[in-house]
Structure 1
Amino acid sequence: MGLIKKDKEMTSMQGKVALITGGSSGIGQASAVAFAKEGVKTVITGRSTAGLEETASKVKAAGGETTVFQVDIADTSVIEKLADDSAAAYGRLDYVINSAGTQGEVNVVADQRLESFEEVFATNVRGTFLVMKYTIPHLLKQGGGAIVNLSSGGGLVGVPGASVYCASKHAVMGLTKVAAIDYAKQGIRVNAVNPGGVDTPMLRKFFESIQDEDERKAARASFDASHPIGRAGRADEVADAVVFLCSPRASNIVGIALSVDGGYVAN
């Protein structure tokens, strides 16, 4: 009995606090619910008031406790305050999930707009970097913690027509690996989760940016078929991987790209 009790104590996440960016929909929302089931309190950020309210409702239904902040992490002026407010919400900060992201547009390289490039990098790269920069001191106060950055299969391989998105997600992988090395000895584990196609509003919007209907349908069918499992992933499947990487069960996992992609990258 003593051994069983000790094992439960070692794997418990009860009472920990997680900051989740991009928590108003998709993987961020699913991660908030998954953390709630583990007894983790969450601070959720996003741009959509309605989406944040929906996430908060789902978290509470799962027995969790949450605080929401309406924030656009592309806005550099708010991120330091967000980090401070997130740590203050429950008196600590243990996990940081960088789930906020934008998909950009589908176009060959020469036809990509500079405005789209700047928008994608402001959120996916600069936002992720600044959230890490300003939350890491709070994690260090707790003696460590975990950061999970949402990269993508497009952060490991190229996806036709998605040069800007892929470049941003490759950059997220670079940030993840170096942060992992920088802070491993100080008790902060930094990893990335790399989903393939996941049926989220962002993925649907990505394909909706293709103007020609026939091209759009063909692109989506081809993308779905590129996953050996035979289907797009679900947000909750990715969320389970996010929670695992934060848990004590992942104590020796540092600096990895965990593909949750139905075999997409292996194909």
Structure 2
Amino acid sequence: MTGSMNGKVALVTGASSGIGQAIAAALAKEGVKTVISGRSVQGLSETASRVKAAGGEVHAIEADLMDPASVELLVTDGAAAFDRLDYVVNNAGTQGEVNVVADQRLESYEEVFATNVRAPFLIMKYAIPHLLRQGGGAIVNLASGGGLVGVPGASVYCASKHAVMGLTKVAAIDYAKQGIRVNAVNPGGVDTPMLRKFFESIPGDDARAAARAAFEATHPIGRLATAEEIADAVVFLCSPKASNIVGIALSVDGGYVAN
């Protein structure tokens, strides 16, 4: 980005592994100082090492996004870490259970919505005043292909990600004239530790291989995305190169939604 993001500060949630870790490292390569949050101290340490290896400055905060007070404190401490805040990446999320609607548990619903919807809402609520002090900035919410189409067995997850899209669109309208661009990135399947753990939970080598192959086949590109491919899209939406992009759902899904 030719130094256009150098010295800016980003808050990245869910940064202890997978997509969040890749986003923090990708931002660091552009000269962005990163505040990373997550629940795994070991994971945050690994991410901090990747950020430093990319030449970036990093501040890690252990936070539980299920706790509204912890969310508010995360934003306050995050903005204070480098005395400013320019970008917010709401990446943390949970998949919940795979089950038909009538068999979904209320406890799972509450956990998914607290993590996937309430937490990004509160982070935007508390972070936007900090962005306004800098004259603007960018917010990128990690939604999903499941925020644009229905996925069998994932009613609660899809509902939460559709809600993220609603938050994204309205926040984009609310703050566009004040210099804050709000957008969403909507991944399809991404080859992350979380997804690999899901496939590993399927008993039997043949069954595991068949399940992964079937999932990959739903993506016209014929493979899953890498975490780095999602991170590149996030960096682009934060950057000045996306200066006229407001309120969109950027699908980075190998054609999953188009299929």
Class of the TM-score when normalised by the shorter of the 2 chains: over 0.9
- Between stretches 78-87 and 168-177, larger displacement belongs to 78-87
**In structure 2, what is the Cα distance between the partners aligned to 1:182 and 1:209?**
43
The aligned residue for residue 4 of structure 1 is none
* CA distance in structure 2 between the partners assigned to 1:226 and 1:67 by the alignment: 38
CA drift at 1:202: 2.5
Change (3 A) 1:263 1:200: same
Amino acid aligned to 1:227: H
Equivalent AA in structure 2 for residue 66 of structure 1:
V
Q: CA deviation at 1:204?
A: 3.1
Indicate whether 1:127 and 2:119 are aligned.
yes
The answer to whether 1:93 aligns with 2:93 is no
Kindly indicate whether the alpha-carbon contact (under 8 Å) linking 1:105 and 1:206 is maintained by their aligned counterparts in 2.
Answer: no
Q: Which residue in 1 is equivalent to 2:135?
A: 143
In percent, how many aligned pairs have the same letter?
A: 79
| Counterparts of residues 60-99 of structure 1 (less than 5 Å) | 60-99=52-91
Structure 1 counterpart SS, 2:140: strand
Change (3 A) 1:170 1:141: same
Shift of the 105–212 alpha-carbon distance from structure 1 to 2, 3 Å rule, reads farther
AA of the residue aligned to 2:47: T
- Which runs of no fewer than 5 residues in structure 2 stay unpaired? none
Q: Name the aligned partner's letter for residue 117 of structure 1.
A: Y
Structure 1: 5+ residue runs without aligned partners?
A: 1-6
Residues 1:29 and 2:29 aligned together: no
Matches of 1:169 and 1:207, distance apart in 2: 22
3-state SS of paired residue (1:96): strand
Q: Give the Å deviation of 1:209.
A: 6.3
Cα distance in 2 for residues equivalent to 1:117 and 1:216: 27
Q: 1:233–1:214: structure 2 CA closer, same or farther, 3 Å change rule?
A: same
Alignment partner, residue 12 of structure 2: 20
Q: Is 1:252 equivalent to 2:244 in the alignment?
A: yes
Question: In 2 relative to 1, CA 125–215 (structure 1 residues): closer, same or farther, beyond 3 Å?
Answer: farther
| 1:45 match | 37
1:195 and 2:191 correspond: no
Q: How many Å apart are 1:216 and its aligned residue?
A: 5.8
Count of matched residue pairs:
259
In the other structure, the counterpart of 2:108 is 116
What is the aligned partner in structure 2 of residue 166 from structure 1?
Answer: 158
SS of residue paired to 2:183: strand
> What residue is the counterpart of 1:155 in the other structure?
147
Task: Give, as a single letter, the amino acid of the residue that structure 2 aligns with 1:221.
Answer: A
In structure 2, the residue matched to 1:231 is 223
Cα 1:175–1:265 shift into 2, 3 Å = same
CA distance in 2 between counterparts of 1:214 and 1:113 reads: 30
Say whether the 8 Å CA contact 1:59–1:66 is kept in structure 2.
yes
After TM superposition, the structure 1 stretch with the greater mean CA deviation from structure 2, 221-230 or 26-35, is 221-230
CA distance in 1, matches of 2:178, 2:198: 38
1:224 CA displacement: 1.1
The 8 Å contact of residues 102 and 202 in structure 1, kept in 2 or not, is answered as: no
Q: Which amino acid aligns with 1:225?
A: A
Q: Distance in 2 between matches of 1:213 and 1:165?
A: 27
Give the aligned partner of residue 97 of structure 2: 105
Contact 1:43 1:86 in 2 (8 A): yes
Q: Is the 8 A contact 1:106 1:206 kept in 2?
A: no
* Further displaced range: 101-110 or 244-253: 101-110
Secondary structure of the residue aligned to 2:36 is strand
Counterpart-to-counterpart distance in 1, 2:100 and 2:49: 40
Distance in 2 separating the partners of 1:86 and 1:64: 16
Per the TM alignment, residue 107 of structure 1 is displaced from its structure 2 partner at its CA by: 1.0
For 2:256 and 2:151, locate their aligned partners in 1 and report how far apart those are by CA, in whole Å.
Answer: 11
- Letter in structure 1 aligned against 2:35: V
Moved more, 64-73 or 209-218: 209-218
- 1:118 counterpart SS class: helix
Instruction: Tell me the C-alpha RMSD between the 2 structures.
Output: 1.7
| CA–CA separation in structure 1 for the residues paired with 2:250 and 2:14 | 19
**Which stretch shifts more, 205-214 or 135-144?**
205-214
